[in-house]
Amino acid sequence: MKAVAIKFLNITGMRWGIPLVKLFSGEQVLQQLKEIGKTIVAPILAIIGFLLIWSFFASQITTSLGRLPGPVAVWQQAQSLWQEHLVERKKADEFYARQEDRNAKRRAENPGAKISTVEFTGKPTYIDQIITSLKTVFMGFTIASLIALPIGVICGLSKTVMKAFNPLIQIFKPVSPLAWLPIVTMIVSAVYVTNNGFFAKSFIISAITVSLCSLWATLINTALGVSSVNIDYINVAKVLQLSPTKKTFKILLPATLPLIFTGLRISLGVGWMVLIASEMLAQNPGLGKFIWDEFQNGSSHSLARIMVAVFTIGIIGFILDRVMVELQKLVSFEKASL
C-alpha cells in the first residue's frame, strides 16, 4: 500500500507527498517532519507570500477595465467559467433531448419520413477551448515529429548532410511564431480551399505554426544522439556486419531514444508556448482565442478571466512535461550503471 502510494506520487511528479505517506506509516517521524518542512511547508509559504504580494499590488493598480483582479477575483472567475460550462452543456443536452423527442414523434407518425439531426451550435465553453488547444498542439507536435525525426536521423548518420542542413536549421530555429503565421495563413488559404474540410482552416494554420517552431529541438537532439552513439555499439554492429536497416533499428535508434525523447519533450514545451500566440492571431477557438476575445471584450471580468487562462496554460504545460518525462523514463535504459 505504502509502496504503491509512493510510486504513484513519484510518477505524477508529486514527490512532496512522499514524506507525508511515510509519516502516516510511522517511519522515522522526526526526519519526515524535517522533510515535510522542506518540501511542503516552504513551497506553501512561498505561494502564500506570492498571493499576498499579488493582492497588495493588484489593489494599487487601476486599469481602464477597473481594478486589477487579485487572487480572490481570479478564483471567482474560474468558478464562473466552470458554471458557464455546465450551463452550456445542460443547454446542449436539452437541445439534443428536444431533437430526439421531435424525431421520435415524427417516426411514430410516418416511419418512412426523412429525419435530420442538427448539431448544437452553442458558443464553445472554456473547457471546449482547452480541448481545442490540446488537439491543436498535438496535431502540431505530431507533424513536427514526423518531419524532425527522419531528418534528424539522416543528419546524425552523415556529416555531409548535417553540414548541409546546419545553416538552415540555425536560421529558422529562432524565428518567432508570429513571423511564420502570416506566411502560413496565406499558404493554407491558397492550398486548402475546401469549405467543409475535416479540419478548420484556423486549426491547420495554428498547428502548422506550432510545428514550424517546435520541430527544431527534436531535429537537433535526434541528430546529436545518432551522431554520438557509443563507438562500442557501432563496433558491435561492424563485427556482426549488420545491414544498414538492422543497424538503424537495433543499435542506433535504441541508443538514441533517450536523447530523442529529451528533444520531443522540449518540442512539446515550445509548441505549447507558441500555440497561444498562434491561436490568438489565427482565431483558432482555443485558449489563445479565449484570451484575445476577453481582451477585446473589455468587461470588468476580462482581466480575471485572462489570469485564469494564464494559470490553466501553466498547469497544462506542467502536466504535458510530466507526461513526457515519464515516457522518457520508460524508454531509457539505465545509462549510469553501464
Partner 1 sequence: MSLELINVSKGFGEGKSRTDVLDNINLKINVGEIVAIVGFTGSGKTTLVKLMAGLLVPDRGNVFFKGEVVNGPGKERGVVFQNYSLLPWFTVFQNVMLAVNEVYPQWSKEQRCDHAKKYIEMVNLGSALNKRPAELSGGMRQRVSVARALSMNPEMLLLDEPLSALDAITRGILQQEIVNILGNDKTTALLITNDVDEGILMADRIIPLNPGLKATLGPEFKINIERPRDKTALNDNANFIKVRNEIIEYLMDMGGEANPQKTNSYDLPEISPVMPQSFFSKKTTKAA
Residues within the interface to partner 1 (CB under 8 A)? 232-233, 235-236, 238-242, 250-251, 254-255, 257, 333-335, 337-338
Contact 30, 57 (CB under 8 A): no
Least Å distance, CB 232 to partner 1, is 4
Q: What are phi and psi of 337, to 5 degrees?
A: -90, 20
φ, ψ dihedrals at 112, nearest 5°: -90, 5
Q: How far is the CB of 330 from partner 1 (least distance, A)?
A: 12
Cell of 210: 506550432
Of 9 and 236, which has the nearer Cβ to partner 1? 236
Residues 6+ apart with CB under 8 A from 299: 65
In the complex, the smallest distance separating the C-beta of residue 160 from partner 1, rounded to whole angstroms, is 20
Nearest approach, Cβ of 140 to partner 1 (angstroms)? Answer: 30
Q: Which is nearer to partner 1, 110 or 241 (CB)?
A: 241
CB 242 → partner 1: shortest distance, Å? 7
CB of 226 to partner 1, least distance (A): 15
DSSP 63-128: ETTEEPP-HHHHHHHHHHHHHHHHHHHHHHHHHHHHHHHHHHHHHHH-TT---------PPP-HHH
In the bound state with partner 1, the residue whose beta carbon lies nearer, of 109 and 334, is 334
Residue closer to partner 1 (CB basis): 58 or 237 = 237
Q: CB of residue 329 vs partner 1: minimum separation in angstroms?
A: 14
Alpha carbon separation from 103 to 94, 98, 99, 120, 121 (Å, rounded): 14, 9, 6, 15, 18
- Closer Cβ to partner 1, 237 or 309, answer by number: 237
Q: Phi/psi zone of residue 66: left (φ > 0), alpha (ψ -120 to 50 degrees), beta? A: left
- Determine contact, residues 140/288, Cβ cutoff 8 Å: no
User: Toward partner 1, which CB reaches closer, 62 or 243?
Assistant: 243
* Residue number, 225 or 288, with CB nearest to partner 1: 225
